[in-house]
Amino acid sequence: MNVQFCDRCHRPTRSTLMSMFNFDLLCSPCTDRERAHPKYAEAVAAEAQSGRDNVANFPGIGLPEDLR
């Protein structure tokens, strides 16, 4: 089996999701923490707008310091 590691907490995980703030690949607990962040809705809206604007490889709005 192929083991991956979370880009935030560096723990092994079997599945990841990409962050809405940047290109980090996250485990489930880190994804949950990110979704609870006050700026999450802003990050989701910016990502959606980048799709409407046909921006390839949108880098996100940047990772908030308190999620590092």
* Residue 29 maps to a domain: yes
Look at residue 24 in the predicted model and tell me its pLDDT.
97
| Domain span including residue 37 | 4-53
Q: Whole-prediction pTM value? A: 0.89
Series of mean pLDDT values for 10-residue runs along the chain (68 residues): 91 96 97 98 97 93 96
Look at residue 31 in the predicted model and tell me its pLDDT.
98
Look at residue 7 in the predicted model and tell me its pLDDT.
97
Number of domains in the chain: 1
Q: Which amino acid belongs to residue 38?
A: P
* Residue 62 maps to a domain: no
45: left (phi over 0), alpha (psi -120 to 50) or beta: alpha
* Residue 66 maps to a domain: no
Look at residue 1 in the predicted model and tell me its pLDDT.
65
* Residue 63 maps to a domain: no
